[in-house]
Amino acid sequence: MINSAAIKRAADYLDATDMGDGQWAYYDEGMRRYYLVSADDLAGLCEFLDATDTDISRDAYSHWCAGTTAWEMPFGWTPDTVTEHERASA
């Protein structure tokens, strides 16, 4: 079962956007791209944030990124791109 508190916490940490259907979009400043990630995977970020090993918790995002199944979106894609497209299709 998905922990909604963990999803909210991780989404707030990444400033992620709920895209619906269990998908979230977040922007990686270092890569200068958006990524899509599942709610389950997003919630997993909290395990790194809460690690008792300070080397892990301090760099939680990097540790999480190493194992995430997030999809890199094309350059220039934004969550608004989808919303605008969906409005135009309606």
Kindly give, in sequence order, each residue whose CB lies less than 8 Å from that of residue 33, ignoring residues fewer than 6 positions away.
27, 72, 73, 75, 77
Question: pLDDT value at position 83?
Answer: 56
- How far apart, in whole angstroms, are the C-alpha atoms of residue 49 and residue 46? 5
Question: pLDDT value at position 40?
Answer: 92
Checking DSSP bridges between strand 71-72 and strand 33-38, what pairing results, if any?
antiparallel
Q: Using pLDDT thresholds of 50, 70 and 90, give the confidence band for residue 85.
A: very low
Q: Tell me: the pLDDT tens digits for 27-62?
A: 999 999 999 999 999 999 999 999 999 999 999 999
Smallest CA-to-CA distance from 43 within 81, 86, 83, 8 is with: 8
The domain ranges of the chain are: 4-89
